[in-house]
Amino acid sequence: METVLLNLGPQHPSTHGVLRLVVELEGERVVNVEPVIGYLHRGFEKICENRRYIQITPLTDKLDYVASMSNNMAYVKAVEELLDLHPPQRAEFIRVIVLELQRIASHLLALGSIGNDLGMPFTLMMYTFREREKILDLFESLSGARLGYNYITIGGVMHDLPFGFPDHVLAFLKELDEKIEEYEDLIYENEIFIRRTEGVGVLKPNDAINLGATGPVLRGSGVKRDVRKEDPYSVYHMFDWKVVTGDKGDCLSRISVWIKEMKMSSEIVKQAIANLPAGNIREKVSRVIRPPEGETYSRIESPRGELGFHIVGDGSTNPYRLKIRSPAFCNLSVLPHIAKGVLIADLIAILGTLDPVFGEVDR
């Protein structure tokens, strides 16, 4: 049968941003798919070489723009490793609180948009955005911004928690726990949703590891790996929580990982708030940060997976080289391997569950 070459994107609502997919089709079956990326490339790594260390934090907000806190944290952690700086305990707890809230917000967005991809627009998205909005409101009270926070900073966090913040968070989490049950009903009880996602785009555990998938994509395949447990950073080792996994490696497993992770994040935030210590929120650092010569590679678990920063310092005020290992980039590279032989409508579902954010893929 003759194959047809189809260009999907770069401007198409189902590609989650400026992704172009060159799809080779045989009827409605996908024979081959090649992602073409780079439409949002801003030369981030080159820009960073001409910025001071402290000036880079607000830039990292624009990497994964739906989870800015995680980017701030990943960058700041790498610089702190270079400086051998240990932020105060209260700052670390606040960081964990905002990081986990950010994870919930990011997964809510992913969950909402997967509904759009599967042809059930607005229902799921309306509900998940209702909760996401509340997290954004909380972050606004915290940092003054709704998307690019620049909140986590070298040596600690920018501001202390505003008055009543922990109570607001706890009230929100109580509400969220009820709402998550609602989402579960909307997803697991919906036959159309199940039939569109179950058994579609199966990624086997060994392939997932070899292809470099991380985050919910890896855990959806049943591999119990999480940087927060594997290579603990901040104060994650002090909380009781488990790494959640899916079982089948298909789209539905990856979606179930999002839902389970939201519950787990909510648990972590509750524990962090219950044990929030008093004290300083920021270690004293000099105005001009000048790390010693050396290099480091540090990773955190962002909502999308393993987010790493490799920084080479040459003893000056600017980094000599800064490399971002973005999880969305690596997860997207899995797509050609698992999208062979699926229907074109399923291709969109698979792409939705890989959850790429193009600020981060293209950098």
Q: Which two tokens stand for residue 86?
A: 């240990």
Q: Cis link prior to 10 (omega < 30° from 0)?
A: yes
d(C-alpha 291, C-alpha 319), whole Å: 9
Contact call for residue 323 and other proteins (CB under 8 A): yes
Name which of residues 106 to 145 contact other proteins (CB under 8 A). none
45-104: contacts with other proteins (CB under 8 A)? 45-46, 84
* Nearest alpha carbon to residue 294 among 261, 320, 326: 320
CA nearest 207: which of 192, 218, 194?
218
Q: At 347, phi and psi to the nearest 5? A: -55, -40
Binding piece for other proteins, criterion CB under 8 A, among 4-12, 153-161, 183-191, 204-212: 204-212
Q: Which stretch binds other proteins (CB under 8 A): 103-111, 139-147, 188-196, 330-338?
A: 330-338
- Cβ closest to other proteins, residue 61 vs residue 81: 81
Asked if 299 touches other proteins (CB under 8 A), the answer is: yes
Q: For residue 222, state whether it binds other proteins (rule: CB under 8 A).
A: no
Identify which of residues 99 and 158 has a Cβ nearer to other proteins in the complex.
99
Helices (H) and strands (E) in the chain, counts: 15, 8
Specify the stretch interacting with other proteins by CB under 8 A; choose among 71-79, 171-179, 194-202, 234-242. Answer: 234-242
Does position 41 interact with other proteins (CB under 8 A)? The reply is: yes
Which residues touch 189 (CB under 8 Å, ≥6 apart)?
none
- Is 355 among the residues that bind other proteins (CB under 8 A)? no
The distance of closest approach from Cβ of residue 210 to other proteins in the complex, given in angstroms and rounded to an integer, is: 5
Closer by beta carbon to other proteins, 112 or else 308: 308
Rounded to the nearest 5°, which phi and psi values hold at 183? -65, -40
Contact 246, 280 (CB under 8 A): no
E strand spans, the chain: 4-8, 20-26, 29-36, 152-153, 156-157, 294-302, 305-313, 319-325
DSSP state of 267: H
Binders in 145-184 for other proteins, by CB under 8 A: none
Among 38, 164, 292, 341, binds other proteins (CB under 8 A): 38
Cα angle for residues 105, 106, 111 (degrees, 5° grid): 100
Within residues 260-279, the interface with other proteins by CB under 8 A covers: 271, 274-275
Closest approach, Cβ 134 to other proteins, in A, equals: 26
CB of 113 to other proteins, least distance (A): 23
The footprint of other proteins (CB under 8 A) covers: 37-38, 41, 43, 45-46, 84, 209-212, 223, 225, 230-232, 237-240, 271, 274-275, 296-297, 299, 306, 308, 310, 312, 320-321, 323, 325, 329-330, 333, 337, 362-363
